[in-house]
Amino acid sequence: MNQAESNASSTVQSAAQKQPNRSNLKQRHLSQKFAFGALWVGGALVMLILLVVVGYVITNGIREVTWEFLTTAPRGGLSGEGGISTTIVSTVYLIGLTIVIATPLGIGAAIFLTEYAGETNVGSKFLRSLIDLVHFGVETLAGIPSIIFGLFGFALFVSVLHFGFSLLSAGLAGACLVLPTIIRTTEESLLTVPMSYREASLALGATKWQTIYQVVLPAAIPGIITGIILSVARVISETAVFYVTLGGSARMPTSIFSSGRTLALHLYYLAMDTNAFDKAMATGAVLIISIILINLIIDFVSSKLTAGLRENQ
Amino acid sequence: MQRRYRIDKGIKYLLFFSAIVSIIIVFLIFFFIFQSSLPAFQQIGLRNILLETTWRPTNGQYGILAMIVGSVMVTFMAIVMGVPLALGAAIFLAEVAPRAVQNVFRSAIQLLAGIPSVVYGLFGMVVLVPIVRRIPVPGNSGYGLLSAAIVLAVMILPTITSVTEDALRAVPRSYKEASLALGATHWQTIIHVMIPAAKSGIIAALILGVGRAIGETMAMIMVIGNSVIMPTPLTDNPLTIFLRQARTLTGNIAVEINYATGLHESMLFATGVVLFILIMIINASAHLILRNGERS
């Protein structure tokens, strides 16, 4: 009260002089400095975690990674003798199988969702709600934990369909797992293709499919490739699904009905069932290096994509 | 001419079929997991499954409460440890970091998300478990809730960070400009304008993180110890509960499915059903929150 009175009685000039004292700008800047400092520390901590995990696995594993390690078969046993050649082959087979099954379905679904979903104006409420249902299905699939896919693959492919523990069972279960990834990335890249491309093609007399196949899809290729590479990475790093569908045999696979083990699965068996932590670490180093390479490829492809977009505009 | 249009029609149906494949898969997953779990629910009963803590398949005892508690505890601990770091990283990435740092940082997050879970598990076994083992408490093996939660916290970090970053970037530019124009500092703008505006996206990010944590399997098997006990403190000190070994729902399925038969196998599917329902509730609430956020 007193202060207010004295303020009121004082001249305008002195009030103006007091103004800087009452400003909390300095304090606010100080708290910003503290907060941003903390955020930088947090960011550095995340980088540190990454460097420690990746650095530890690679520096401890890379010594074991020789040409011989990569090209001899695992001999099994408690000391985890041998290399990882058969597991590399199994991984590659499984990637091929998964991608071959999932890609056509995923791209087809994405094309339908982006290109045909819009033209359902002719009194087909049914189709409209069906498309909503498909979106719901894709979201649900993306959220289901991988062990559930494993259980499903075990029940349907391994048991009911009698494919046994095999590359085929694992590939089918893996395809279910990566399907949402391919659908989503393809959908996104189809949506970035300008409408004018389609209009120009249709105006020239092309049918809808000719337009999609010869105009829209080529323009969306980088996005589609990104989706496929992401799926490859998913198959490489996935373990739970294949743990319950692939059987874990360390022998060289001879057909799609052979049992097998992927690199990640091999690492798991080494770490849990043997004393060969050095071999497990080496397998881990191979895994991390392949994931880094895949990330570099994705960065390259998506830089192509953004460059292409800029050209379009 | 006629032929082109016939092809057009045919392909439309083909594409339609590939679109409904995802619904079919979801339906099949529902069907097979629920159907295979039916014998367990019928013969053991929902109450005995959900409320009993003894899991002794050879003895016909199939209570999974200890595993539900294990899953929930390890997830909760991972969230407590991982979320502050993830939110900080997201704010750093969206608002503070210069562009060059952003690019490096984003690749780092991407790589962190791409590292296979078995590699995290191996790192946990070789590095983390020996460190935790040094805590001088009788019965402390190093394997247990604490080690598992640390591994899990790192594993959910990329999910939460990238979804939160997207949410922060989706805040209209005009909000930020208005706040800065009123004389607020950048930090005040972040705290009082950006984060409240991105609230629904951030909550969704947390829920997605919870979903990922509950669903994680292999890394958990490798570091949590897998013994089926109701977690209790090892000594008088209640904090030693975190050094106790445990088993998650996911781990229960993976560890035993390869040799289980009959009712035991059906019971593992029932574990899957419980996990499935838990995840569906979690994901549905994340989507609801995100959709409501979009509307407002």
User: Mean pLDDT, to the nearest integer, of B154-175?
Assistant: 93
Picking from B40, B166, B156, the residue whose alpha carbon sits closest to that of residue B93 is B166
pLDDT for A16 beyond 60:
no
Helix, strand, coil % (nearest 5) of chain A?
80, 0, 20
- Classify residue A294: in a domain, yes or no: yes
**Total structural domains in chain A?**
1
CB of A295 within 8 Å of a chain B CB? The answer is yes
Q: What is the DSSP string of B249-260?
A: HHHHHHHHTTT-
Q: Which residues of A touch B164 (CB under 8 A)?
A: none
Q: HSE on the CB side for B13, CA within 13 Å?
A: 5
ipTM > 0.85 (yes/no) = yes
CB of A47 within 8 Å of a chain B CB? The answer is yes
CB distance B23–A237 less than 8 Å? Answer: no
- Classify residue A21: in a domain, yes or no: no
- Classify residue A38: in a domain, yes or no: no
Residues in chain A: 313
- Classify residue A289: in a domain, yes or no: yes
CB of A236 within 8 Å of a chain B CB? The answer is yes
Distances (CA, A) of B7 to A94, A121, A122, A210, B1: 33, 22, 21, 10, 10
User: What is the spatial distance between Cα A232 and Cα A99, in angstroms, rounded to a whole number?
Assistant: 7
Confidence label for A309 from pLDDT (cuts 50, 70 and 90): low
User: Residue A173's closest chain B neighbor by CA?
Assistant: B25
CB distance B15–A112 less than 8 Å? Answer: yes
Residue B81 CB partners (closer than 8 Å, separation 6+): B149, B150, B153
Q: Tokens standing for B112?
A: 């962190």
pLDDT for A2 beyond 60:
no
Q: How far is B236 from chain A (nearest CA, A)?
A: 32
Q: Which residues of B touch A138 (CB under 8 A)?
A: 22
Among A residues 1-30, those touching chain B with beta carbons less than 8 Å apart? 28-29
- In degrees and rounded to multiples of 5, residue A298 shows phi and psi of -60, -45
Q: Looking at residue A182, which CATH number applies to its domain?
A: 1.10.3720.10
CB of A149 within 8 Å of a chain B CB? The answer is yes
CB distance A134–B283 less than 8 Å? Answer: no
Task: Report which listed range, A275-284, B70-79, B234-243, is most confident.
Answer: B70-79
CB nearest to A288's CB, from B11, B119, B121: B119
User: Mean pLDDT, to the nearest integer, of B73-93?
Assistant: 94
Q: HSE on the CB side for B143, CA within 13 Å?
A: 17
Q: HSE on the CB side for A72, CA within 13 Å?
A: 14
Q: Which residues of B touch A49 (CB under 8 A)?
A: 112, 154, 157
Average pLDDT, chain B: 89
pLDDT for A177 beyond 60:
yes
- Do A101 and A171 form a contact (C-beta atoms < 8 A)? yes
**Mutate which: B87, B102, B118, vs A, most A CBs within 10 A:** B118
CATH of domain B2-295: 1.10.3720.10
**The predicted structure's pLDDT at residue A11:** 45
Measured at the alpha carbon of residue A133, what is the angle toward residues A127 and A136, in degrees to the nearest 5?
Answer: 150
Terminal-residue alpha carbon distance, chain B: 49
Confidence label for A10 from pLDDT (cuts 50, 70 and 90): very low
Burial of A115 (0-12, 13-18, 19+ CB in 10 A): buried
User: Mean pLDDT, to the nearest integer, of B75-79?
Assistant: 94
Residue A122: domain span: 67-312
* Crossing angle for the helix pair B262-295 and A125-143, to the nearest 10 degrees: 120
- Do B44 and B62 form a contact (C-beta atoms < 8 A)? yes
Alpha helices in chain B (DSSP H): 2-44, 46-51, 65-91, 99-114, 117-123, 129-133, 145-169, 173-181, 186-189, 195-197, 199-215, 218-224, 249-256, 262-295
Q: HSE on the CB side for B259, CA within 13 Å?
A: 5
**The predicted structure's pLDDT at residue A249:** 82
**The predicted structure's pLDDT at residue B1:** 61
What secondary structure letter does DSSP report for B55? E
Picking from B145, B142, B105, the residue whose alpha carbon sits closest to that of residue B126 is B142
Q: How far is B171 from chain A (nearest CA, A)?
A: 20
Confidence label for A121 from pLDDT (cuts 50, 70 and 90): low
pLDDT tens-digit readout, A133-168: 888 888 888 889 999 999 999 999 998 999 989 999
- Cα A302 to its chain centre, rounded Å, is 14
pLDDT for B162 beyond 80:
yes
**The predicted structure's pLDDT at residue B4:** 80
